[in-house]
Structure 1
Amino acid sequence: MRTRWRINGLILETVNIHLFNDSCNLRSLKEHPSVFARFRSAGLKWTLKAIHENSCENQHLAVFGDFNFRLNLPLYIERLLSAHDLPYDRSTCSVQDSAKSVDRAEGGTFNRGDIVIGRRQFHIPYDDRLTWSNFEPFLPLDQETLAFSGQLQELPITFPPSYPFSDEPGVPHDYDTTRCPVWCDRIMFSVRTFSCLRPPDHHCSILYDLLGKDVALGDHKVSSRKRCCTPPVFTRTILPIRNIK
């Protein structure tokens, strides 16, 4: 969905986007960027080109929604295995896409260090590294945005992965065992717009976070951005791109 707004002479275009997902974890494990990541990249490049070809002079742009970005999965698995002093053989990534998922390990139980990956299964028993409260070390593996660093910019991520949350009520911070936790839901800005978010004389902080953090809302928690101003600033407009001609 694409909309264009004129606010006090300023033109702001907003685009709600939903890019391709990873339909098979096994294929994502074969290489990075995966075939799905390449489709996402092509789709977003096409969208940005279409916006550029039909834009106004000095226009501002915000793109938000489910980008479906994924971590560098081969490197993520390699790090997990190295943490358990286990070798990583990339030849195992040649497993057929039709391989059956493993519901339980032999004997009905999982062992520490087991990694269970299937088409729609991603389960690492006894591992608490990439969780709701421990996600910062894995932010460098969020690499799909690098292909657009010259066109789109984003505020620093300080919130947990936005997908895939469990649908079970009462456990709003638990992730499902279908995918590796990732930051799918994002808000990005054109370089011009991003430079206006924090003008030199700004008095407000910008909060970039998840909505409904402590409530079970489904498999996604959407991201949001708002400005937090001190009382004396309330007498002024709080548009993040104010007074820009």
Structure 2
Amino acid sequence: MAGKLTAAQGTGILLVTANVGSLFEDPENLQKTWLKEFCQTVQSHKPHFLAVHCQEVGGKNYEASMTHVDSFVKELLSTDAMKEYSRACVYLDENYKSQEQFTALGSFYFIHESLKSVHQFDFKAKKFKKVVGKETFSETLECTPTLEKEKFPQDYFPESKWSRKGFIRTRWALADCAFDLVNIHLFHDVSNLVAWEKSPSVYSGTRQKALGYVLDRITDQRYEKVPYFVFGDFNFRLDSKQVIESLCSTATMHTVRATDTNEVDKLIFQESDNDRKVILHLEKKLFNYVNQDVFQENNGTSLLEFDKELSVFKDRLHELEISFPPSYPYSEDSSQGKQYMNTRCPAWCDRILMSPSARDLVLKPENDDRSIVYDNIGPNVCMGDHKPVFLSFRITAGAGKPNANKHKCCVVQ
């Protein structure tokens, strides 16, 4: 499948992020399709090293879905696409009874049999150890030395007392190169009405604070600094106020207030003429826009000007050009693969971001542009409310040599 390594080919890397919450709400209809599309992506890109970062493992009703998680992981590990991956590390945060620590994150790492030497960092021993065999870690991830896991402090998001948002970090060494892989889940927008109030929204500020916390944490003085990839559900949204003003530029807004509290209950944007046609109906959890095509035409790229949350981190995080439609919120109806739900304004929530030094690894001059692909999985079928997003690239042998000489952490033991 991935074939024998040669210096010219380099090491094929495939990074995938997938919010899989929907798969556990309707496993009968969704899991088989999801796994089929995922496996087709693996077989198409033939990576030597595969990293899959999942969020909302187990779905909303985690306690009831625990058995579904185990069967999903078994199915994934036993697929034909995974047969030539002789080593695997699976980390599942399954300890939902520990509200202070539970993140519902799952990080899966697979190593192809042709890749001879892969090492993983032990954060307690502060050295790399060779990866052998297949191991699954769950329940007590806090005590697992090959990862760092944190849940965001509760006061970061006071509206949601037991938010499951947080991150998991692992560190790897292959092809003379060490790098961190960070699985992240940031806070969502609770109310469309609140998100619309100001630009940028209050929720955008909360995400910025949490992401800044993660970046500070993974680049602090405890360990040597290495290139890092941060991929997960960032919950980045389009600037609500600006995108609505753009979509409804010729409309008149009507405010409907709740009779008992006098709080804004809904906003209705109507055209002045044209029989006063309703263009947008906005409520706390309703975003019903008259023309969904705008989010799909040309992959929705006309709306990228309203995708601004990453710009705050432009010196610390980079992203390849987006050429796929907003990854969320797709319909969870298994027959509606390309339809968005009318709950939120579609947005690129699921992303693969990288440090400047990681970007240099991906965009090495000798890398053929055709070997670099940043796209979504399952564009035409139902994958749940999020479409998974992937980045495929190659690391050429010796790409990290300067780091290896400079950083003790790259000296493999």
Same structural fold, with TM-score higher than 0.5 when normalized by the shorter chain: yes
3-state DSSP class of the match of 2:391? strand
Cross-structure match for 1:172: 337
The reply to whether residue 77 of structure 1 matches residue 233 of structure 2 is no
Q: Is the 8 A contact 1:100 1:118 kept in 2?
A: yes
Q: Distance in 2 between matches of 1:241 and 1:69?
A: 35
Cross-structure match for 2:302: 137
Q: Is the 8 A contact 2:332 2:385 kept in 1?
A: yes
3-state DSSP class of the match of 2:179? strand
Q: How does 1:21-60 map to 2 (within 5 A)?
A: 21-54=188-221, 56-57=223-224, 59-60=226-227
Cross-structure match for 1:62: 229
Shift of residue 100 of structure 1? 3.5
Find the partner of 2:389 among 218, 223, 226. 223
The reply to whether residue 212 of structure 1 matches residue 378 of structure 2 is yes
Q: Letter of the 2:395 partner, please give it.
A: L
Shift of residue 130 of structure 1? 2.3
Aligned CA distance change for structure 1 residues 43 and 73 (closer, same or farther; 3 Å): same
Runs of 4+ in 1 over 3 A off after TM superposition: 54-58, 92-103, 110-113
Q: Distance in 2 between matches of 1:214 and 1:54?
A: 45
Shift of residue 196 of structure 1? 2.2
Tell me which moved more, 167-176 or 179-188. 167-176
Tell me which moved more, 4-13 or 29-38. 4-13
Tell me which moved more, 32-41 or 178-187. 32-41
Cross-structure match for 1:149: 314
Q: Letter of the 1:217 partner, please give it.
A: M
Aligned CA distance change for structure 1 residues 94 and 46 (closer, same or farther; 3 Å): farther
The reply to whether residue 189 of structure 1 matches residue 354 of structure 2 is yes
3-state DSSP class of the match of 1:77? helix
Deviation digits for residues 175-222 of structure 1 (CA, Å, limit 9, x no counterpart): 000000000000000011112212122224211001122220110012
Q: Distance in 2 between matches of 1:222 and 1:6?
A: 25
Identity %: 33
Q: Give the structure-1-normalised TM-score.
A: 0.82
Aligned CA distance change for structure 1 residues 81 and 8 (closer, same or farther; 3 Å): closer
Q: Distance in 1 between matches of 2:360 and 2:256?
A: 42
Find the partner of 2:366 among 191, 196, 201. 201
Tell me which moved more, 213-222 or 182-191. 213-222
Shift of residue 14 of structure 1? 0.3
Residue correspondences, number? 226
Deviation digits for residues 138-197 of structure 1 (CA, Å, limit 9, x no counterpart): 111100000000000000000000000001122211000000000000000001111221
The reply to whether residue 7 of structure 1 matches residue 183 of structure 2 is no
Aligned CA distance change for structure 1 residues 220 and 55 (closer, same or farther; 3 Å): farther
3-state DSSP class of the match of 1:183? coil
Q: Is the 8 A contact 2:198 2:241 kept in 1?
A: yes
Deviation digits for residues 26-47 of structure 1 (CA, Å, limit 9, x no counterpart): 0000012211111100000011
Q: Give the structure-2-normalised TM-score.
A: 0.50
Q: Distance in 2 between matches of 1:217 and 1:133?
A: 21
Q: Distance in 2 between matches of 1:12 and 1:86?
A: 50
Cross-structure match for 1:243: 399
Q: Letter of the 2:351 partner, please give it.
A: R
Q: Which has the larger radius of gyration?
A: 2
Q: How does 1:51-130 map to 2 (within 5 A)?
A: 51-54=218-221, 56-57=223-224, 59-82=226-249, 85-86=250-251, 99-101=264-266, 112-126=277-291, 128-130=293-295
Cross-structure match for 1:233: none
Q: Letter of the 2:315 partner, please give it.
A: G
Q: Distance in 2 between matches of 1:135 and 1:204?
A: 23
Shift of residue 10 of structure 1? 1.7
Structure with more strand by fraction: 2
3-state DSSP class of the match of 2:232? strand
Cross-structure match for 1:234: none
Q: Is the 8 A contact 1:172 1:214 kept in 2?
A: yes
User: Cα RMSD (Å) of the superposition?
Assistant: 2.9
Aligned CA distance change for structure 1 residues 2 and 58 (closer, same or farther; 3 Å): closer
Unaligned runs of 5+ in 2: 1-167, 402-413
Q: Letter of the 2:327 partner, please give it.
A: S
Q: Letter of the 2:356 partner, please give it.
A: V
Q: Distance in 1 between matches of 2:262 and 2:204?
A: 17
Q: Distance in 1 between matches of 2:352 and 2:398?
A: 19
Cross-structure match for 2:112: none
